């Protein structure tokens, strides 16, 4: 196994493990690599220093812990997306209108999801419509 520090085009640095250097090359060439922070597919090797224990190594461990936590959060949000897609109707840009209809009893209660601008979300909340904004994670990232 070999560990590389990788960097995306938005300057997020994270580590990844590969069976060998060829495995990195194959995944990079196929576009299979993505940043766990922002999902960018523009990823390259970052400059690495030899792994020698020193006082600053706690910072590196902390950075790895944060990157791991971010990756776990992305996995969790993908599961949330799957659950929503399986248990609710997608109403797209009609979400604010459909949420109001349900709230005011103009249509039967239903689980729905869709798109709304931040302004529309604020208006719905001010009207007392019970909604939740969920960070929507791409499936392939």
* pLDDT above 70 for 98: yes
Assigned domain for 140 exists: no
Task: Assess if residue 131 is contained within a domain.
Answer: no
Higher pLDDT, 39 or 103: 103
Task: Find all residues with CB under 8 Å of 15, minimum gap 6, and list them.
Answer: 3, 4, 5, 6, 64, 67
- Co-location of 69 and 94 in the same domain: no
The answer to the question of residue 83 being in a domain is no
Q: Which of 58, 77, 96 is the last residue of a domain?
A: 77
Is the same domain home to 60 and 7?
yes
**Six token digits for residue 110:** 């239903």
Contacts of range 83-89, beta carbons closer than 8 Å, 24 or more positions apart = 84/113, 84/134, 85/113, 87/111, 88/112, 88/113, 89/113
The whole domain housing 95 covers 88-126
- pLDDT top residue among 133 and 123: 123
Model confidence band, residue 48 (pLDDT cutoffs 50, 70, 90): low
Residue whose tokens read 């109403």? 91
- 3-state SS class at 140: coil
Same domain, 55 and 25: yes
In degrees rounded to 5, what are phi and psi of residue 31? Answer: 75, 20
What does the pLDDT read at residue 133? 85
pTM of the model: 0.53
Q: Are residues 47 and 92 in the same domain?
A: no
Are residues 96 and 39 part of one domain?
A: no
Q: Are residues 72 and 92 in the same domain?
A: no
User: Mean pLDDT, to the nearest integer, of 6-22?
Assistant: 88
> 9 and 69 share a domain?
yes
Q: Does residue 136 sit within a domain?
A: no
Which pLDDT value is given to residue 14? Answer: 87
Pair (17, 64) in one structural domain: yes
Please compute the mean of the pLDDT values over residues 28-42 and round it to a whole number.
88
Shared-domain flag, residues 113 and 73: no
CA–CA separation, 5 and 56 (whole Å):
16
C-alpha closest to that of 46 among 74, 93, 72, 10:
10
Same domain, 66 and 96: no
Considering just the CA atoms, what is the radius of gyration of the chain in Å?
A: 21
Distance CA 62, CA 24 (A): 24
Q: Does residue 31 contact residue 44 with C-beta atoms inside 8 Å?
A: no
The structural domain count of the chain equals 2
Answer whether residue 82 is part of any domain.
no
Question: For all residues of the chain together, what is the average pLDDT?
Answer: 87
């Amino acid at each position: 196994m070999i560990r590389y520090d990788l960097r995306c085009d938005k300057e997020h640095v994270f580590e990844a493990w590969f069976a060998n250097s060829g495995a990195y090359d194959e995944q990079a060439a196929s576009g299979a690599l993505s940043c766990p922070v922002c999902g960018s597919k523009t990823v390259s090797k970052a400059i690495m220093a030899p792994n020698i224990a020193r006082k600053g190594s706690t910072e590196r461990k902390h950075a790895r812990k944060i990157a791991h936590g971010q990756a776990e959060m992305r996995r969790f949000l993908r599961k949330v997306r799957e659950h929503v897609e399986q248990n609710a109707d997608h109403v797209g840009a009609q979400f604010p209108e459909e949420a109001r209809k349900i709230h005011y009893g103009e249509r039967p209660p239903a689980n729905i999801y869709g798109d709304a601008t931040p302004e529309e979300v604020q208006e719905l909340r001010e009207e007392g419509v019970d909604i939740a904004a969920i960070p929507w994670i791409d499936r392939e990232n």
